[in-house]
Amino acid sequence: MKDKLGIVAGIGITVSAVLLTLAFFLKSAGNIELSDIPSIGIVLTLVAFATFVLWDRLKNINKGLPAADERLIQVSCKAGYYGFIAAIWSAVGSNLLAEIIWDIELEGHHVAAVVVLVSAFVFAASYLYLARKGDAK
């Protein structure tokens, strides 16, 4: 029951915090420009994946299993490692790739957006793959 309450509270806090953040962002932004879309994409991607993980753990609790067992902890650690490596290489490669393809140098906030989006996508994809595959070693 303690795990279930924690997960439901986590979902509620996550959803309310994101909606509040998006409301403040949209109110202060006025007109949304093309450069603002990656910021919204970052928020929506992270929230969608966090909600999925919390829902998956809630499903385990409803079946009578623990919220996170040793296998899920190993899957999370390995997916985190892959996300970290992707963050490092996307920080290096995004500016280099933009220079080669479009002959422009990305500003710092664009590189940060690329790093967050790429590392979040790699973490989510590897977490889902490893969780379905069942082997995290």
Q: Under DSSP, is residue 135 helix (H, G, I), strand (E, B) or coil?
A: coil
Measured CA to CA in angstroms, residue 75 lies from 22, 55, 81, 84, 133 at distances of: 30, 16, 10, 14, 10
- What is the average pLDDT score of the chain? 81
pLDDT digits (tens, 9 = 90+) for 64-106: 777 667 888 888 899 999 999 999 999 989 888 888 988 888 8
Provide the residue type at 39 as one letter: S
CB 25 within 8 A of CB 39: yes
Q: pLDDT value at position 81?
A: 95
Mean pLDDT of 46-52: 78
Q: pLDDT value at position 3?
A: 67
Provide the residue type at 132 as one letter: R
pTM exceeds 0.85 for this model: no
Render the burial of 11-48: b for 16+ CB within 10 Å, e for the rest.
Answer: beeeeeebeeeeeeeeeeeeeeeeeeebbeebeeebbe
Confidence of residue 16 (pLDDT cuts 50, 70, 90): confident
Report DSSP letters for 35-76, one per residue.
Answer: GGHHHHHHHHHHHHHHHHHHHHHHHHHHTTS-SS-HHHHHHH
